């Protein structure tokens, strides 16, 4: 993929790799941590932890329901448990277990869903988690994270392990552009402003953050200065950052590699409508499953591009002027 | 630990406790106007034996003692008898008669965040054995010589997750995990054998790598013997399949045509008759 090429973003590692390496590296300082796998540790990268700490790595086979509840049992007995699978299988197959074994008792389980979004490409829609953020946000008390690049995935993995209680983190398969410095210091619930601007705000998560930066560059050439926010924490969402963005720029576009129903856009809209109404545009999957194909072409076909963000931004800026 | 004193109780004393727990379950559900007394009655010997028969090692004054044996009520609709047992043991001083009232921690199904001694929040069937397995693996990792008992309904065995847990427990040779199946033969829509046949049940568990012990779940010596044997490590996880009667000891429920007593409390007059029947048995 060539996301961010035009603005000179360097391609970095995949967020799943960064997560897996961070988890392994944190294993020594977190002796209480256990990892439960459902036969996809080489995909989610929890295998790296398993190789380093085989006595704290449990392989329960292709059985996501059992995997999540076993992780909950560890947590209820005083351990911190990380369990990971493809976002689609983890959050859809084991939703009830996440709700009842983890969410309701507020068990100290960290759920990591990899291969999220449509950028996994050729494997097709059965493998693409496009509703995970919505599902996980609908569990009361769940913290929901969606890192944009490798550095932020490393940082958020560490932050996640500092918390006590249920957390969901989304990771992706492809290499993604670097948008944060190597030593970035993100805080859960505090959005990262990556670019300042006063005409419109682009709020994105995951892969779409790099696209938003690219869109901001295009808009700047047109004389529209866009603020770009990495909303790496969807829940609890950064209300202050959204309010300020709405008050100071007067127009907002959200961008996510996820269904529009219940995703980042709807969460931001809820805050905007209540705190400081502004015209909004949305980039995301619109009421459809995707299909097999090369990631670049899929992102194009389903409108997850910098170009679409630019179009939405032009639209909301025009509506803003119209209102004035 | 308190198990020494409970372990010394004779069957007469245990039966007296069992009757109190059964009566508490009936009274609480009748007062609440909803709930599942019949499933509490089928499990009454099993639950009494676990808490008071010298089976579980626990300390009522320290329900969070790290090395305790744990009990997971996977069939969460049996909550009233667990509340009654925790109250009888002195783990909680909550009034079991506040069952299902707004503001009472004694909710319709067990809530681990609200009630001491409730190890897991259950009510969505099929999850308890997996949770118990995680607890047993954690105890092993912590070097604790403790056991985890999970009580499942027979209808609950329709859930595929139970068998996922069964496979994983056998893989890890978790001989500190005990599944107890309350085989009362009925589930929500009627006869469990018709809704989803489970037989041959012991061979099924054995094929999954478990040690199976099959007993009459209302026979004191057999119940105590099986659960104490299950507590002894054998290299395999153990399932105790207890053949029981849904509504044991209460003619009104036992003789009701069509098993209409799933999730239905006794009416106040029926409850009084049932209580007299249990006390006079």
Q: What's the pLDDT score for residue A1?
A: 65
Task: Kindly determine whether residue B123 and residue A100, on different chains, have CB atoms separated by under 8 Å.
Answer: yes
Task: Give the H/E segment covering residue B37.
Answer: helix B37-42
Both tokens of B268, joined, read 């106040």
In degrees and rounded to multiples of 5, residue A25 shows phi and psi of -65, -30
Q: How far is B281 from chain A (nearest CA, A)?
A: 39
What are the tens digits of pLDDT across the range B124-183?
999 999 999 999 999 999 999 999 999 999 999 999 999 999 999 999 999 999 999 999
Interchain CB contacts (distance < 8 Å): A and B = 107
Work out the pLDDT band at B1, boundaries 50, 70, 90.
very low
ipTM for this prediction: 0.96
Residue A64 annotated among the catalytic residues of the structure: yes
Q: What's the pLDDT score for residue B236?
A: 98
Task: Give the H/E segment covering residue A48.
Answer: helix A47-52
Name the least confident of A130-139, A248-257, A313-322, B265-274. A313-322
Buried b (16+ CB within 10 A) or exposed e, A22-47: bbbbbbeebeebbbbbbebbebbbbb
How far, rounded to the nearest angstrom, does the alpha carbon of residue B73 sit from its chain's CA centroid?
6
What are the tens digits of pLDDT across the range B91-122?
999 999 999 999 999 999 999 999 999 999 99
Q: Which residue of the set A21, A64, A214, A257 is catalytic?
A: A64
For residue B26, pLDDT over 80 is answered with yes
Task: Kindly determine whether residue B134 and residue A100, on different chains, have CB atoms separated by under 8 Å.
Answer: no
Contact indicator for B183, B155 with CB cutoff of 8 Å: no
Both tokens of B42, joined, read 């089928």
Q: How far is A141 from chain B (nearest CA, A)?
A: 13
What are the tens digits of pLDDT across the range A263-286?
999 999 999 999 999 999 999 999
For residue A111, pLDDT over 90 is answered with yes
Which residue matches tokens 């959005």?
A: A191
Q: What's the pLDDT score for residue A323?
A: 53
Greatest distance between any 2 Cα atoms in chain A: 64
What are the tens digits of pLDDT across the range A56-102?
999 999 999 999 999 999 999 999 999 999 999 999 999 999 999 99
| Residue in A63, A74, A100 closest to B121 by CB | A100
Task: Kindly determine whether residue B164 and residue A79, on different chains, have CB atoms separated by under 8 Å.
Answer: no
Work out the pLDDT band at B187, boundaries 50, 70, 90.
very high
Work out the pLDDT band at B281, boundaries 50, 70, 90.
confident
- Report the DSSP beta bridge partners of residue B214: B241
Q: What's the pLDDT score for residue A5?
A: 85
Of the candidates A284, A72, A26, A180, the residue with the CA atom closest to the CA atom of residue B165: A72
Q: How far is B238 from chain A (nearest CA, A)?
A: 18
Average pLDDT across chain A, whole number: 97
Contact indicator for B241, B183 with CB cutoff of 8 Å: yes
What whole-number distance in Å separates Cα of residue B208 and Cα of residue B171? 9
What are the tens digits of pLDDT across the range B42-82?
999 999 999 999 999 999 999 999 999 999 999 999 999 99
Instruction: Give contacts of B208 with chain A, Cβ < 8 Å.
Output: none
Residue B30 Ramachandran class (φ > 0 left, ψ -120 to 50 alpha, else beta): alpha
What whole-number distance in Å separates Cα of residue A303 and Cα of residue A286? 9
Could you please report the per-residue DSSP string of A173-202? SSEEE--S-TT---BTTB-EEEE--SSEEE
Contact indicator for A109, A72 with CB cutoff of 8 Å: yes
Task: Kindly determine whether residue B133 and residue A70, on different chains, have CB atoms separated by under 8 Å.
Answer: yes
Work out the pLDDT band at A216, boundaries 50, 70, 90.
very high
What are the tens digits of pLDDT across the range B212-242?
999 999 999 999 999 999 999 999 999 999 9
Average of per-residue pLDDT across A303-309: 98
Q: What's the pLDDT score for residue A4?
A: 87
* Contacts (Cβ under 8 Å, ≥6 apart) of B236: B170, B173, B175, B209, B210, B211
In degrees and rounded to multiples of 5, residue B239 shows phi and psi of -115, 135
Name the least confident of A205-209, A219-223, B183-187. B183-187
Q: What's the pLDDT score for residue A2?
A: 77
Contact indicator for A201, A249 with CB cutoff of 8 Å: yes
What whole-number distance in Å separates Cα of residue A128 and Cα of residue B17? 55
Average of per-residue pLDDT across A172-178: 97
* Contacts (Cβ under 8 Å, ≥6 apart) of A270: none
Work out the pLDDT band at A324, boundaries 50, 70, 90.
very low
Q: What's the pLDDT score for residue A6?
A: 87
Give the number of other Cβ atoms within 10 Å of residue A54's Cβ: 10
Beta strand spans in chain A (E): 11-14, 33-37, 57-59, 80-86, 109-114, 143-145, 167-170, 175-177, 192-195, 200-204, 226-230, 233-235, 252-259, 280-285
């Amino acid at each position: 993929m060539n996301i961010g090429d035009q603005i000179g973003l360097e391609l970095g590692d995949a967020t799943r790799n960064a997560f897996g390496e961070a988890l392994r590296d944190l294993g020594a300082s977190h002796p209480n941590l256990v990892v439960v796998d459902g036969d996809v540790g080489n995909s989610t990268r929890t295998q790296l932890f398993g190789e380093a700490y085989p006595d704290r790595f449990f392989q329960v086979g292709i059985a996501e329901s059992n995997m999540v509840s076993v992780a909950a049992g560890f947590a209820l007995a005083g351990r911190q448990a990380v369990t990971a699978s493809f976002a689609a299988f983890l959050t859809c197959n084991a939703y009830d277990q996440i709700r009842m074994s983890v969410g309701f008792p507020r068990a100290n389980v960290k759920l990591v869903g990899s291969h999220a979004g449509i950028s996994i490409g050729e494997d097709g829609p059965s493998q693409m988690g496009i509703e995970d953020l919505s599902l996980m946000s609908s569990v009361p008390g769940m913290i929901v994270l969606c890192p944009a690049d490798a550095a932020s995935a490393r940082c958020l993995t560490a932050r996640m392990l500092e918390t006590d209680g249920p957390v969901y983190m989304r990771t992706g398969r492809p290499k993604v552009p670097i948008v944060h410095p190597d030593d970035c210091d993100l805080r859960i619930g505090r959005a990262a402003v990556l670019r300042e601007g006063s005409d419109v705000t682009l709020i994105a998560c995951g892969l779409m953050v790099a696209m938003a930066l690219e869109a901001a560059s295009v808009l700047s050439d047109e004389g529209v200065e866009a603020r770009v926010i990495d909303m790496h924490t969807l829940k609890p969402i950064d209300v202050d950052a959204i309010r300020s963005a709405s008050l100071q720029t007067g127009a907002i576009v959200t961008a996510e590699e996820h269904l529009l129903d219940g995703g980042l856009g709807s969460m931001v809209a809820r805050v905007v409508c209540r705190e400081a109404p502004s015209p909004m545009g949305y980039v995301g999957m619109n009421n459809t499953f995707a299909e097999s194909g090369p990631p670049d072409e899929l992102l194009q076909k389903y409108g997850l591009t910098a170009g679409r963000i630019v179009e939405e931004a032009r639209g909301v800026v025009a509506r803003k002027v119209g209102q004035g | 630990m308190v198990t020494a004193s409970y372990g010394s109780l004779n069957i007469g004393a245990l039966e007296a406790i069992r009757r109190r727990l059964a009566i508490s379950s009936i009274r609480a559900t009748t007062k609440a106007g909803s709930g599942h007394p019949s499933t509490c009655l089928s499990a009454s010997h099993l639950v009494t034996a676990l808490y008071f028969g010298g089976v579980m090692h626990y300390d009522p004054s320290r329900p969070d003692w790290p090395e305790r044996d744990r009990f997971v009520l996977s069939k969460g609709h049996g909550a009233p008898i667990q509340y009654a047992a925790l109250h009888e043991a002195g783990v909680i001083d909550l009034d079991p008669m506040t069952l299902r009232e707004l503001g009472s921690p004694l909710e319709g199904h067990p809530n681990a965040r609200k009630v001491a001694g409730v190890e897991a929040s259950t009510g969505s069937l099929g999850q308890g054995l997996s949770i118990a397995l995680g607890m047993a693996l954690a105890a092993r990792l912590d070097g604790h010589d403790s056991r985890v008992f999970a009580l499942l309904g027979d209808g609950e065995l329709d859930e595929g997750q139970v068998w996922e847990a069964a496979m994983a427990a056998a893989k890890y040779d978790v001989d500190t995990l005990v599944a107890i199946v309350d085989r009362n033969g009925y589930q929500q829509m009627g006869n469990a054998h018709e809704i989803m046949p489970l037989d041959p049940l012991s061979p099924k568990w054995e094929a999954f790598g478990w040690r199976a012990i099959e007993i009459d779940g209302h026979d004191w010596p057999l119940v105590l013997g099986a659960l104490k044997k299950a507590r002894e490590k054998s290299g395999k996880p153990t399932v105790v399949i207890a053949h029981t009667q849904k509504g044991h000891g209460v003619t009104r429920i036992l003789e009701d045509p069509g098993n209409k007593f799933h999730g239905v409390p006794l009416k106040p007059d029926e409850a009084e008759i049932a209580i007299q029947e249990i006390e006079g048995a």
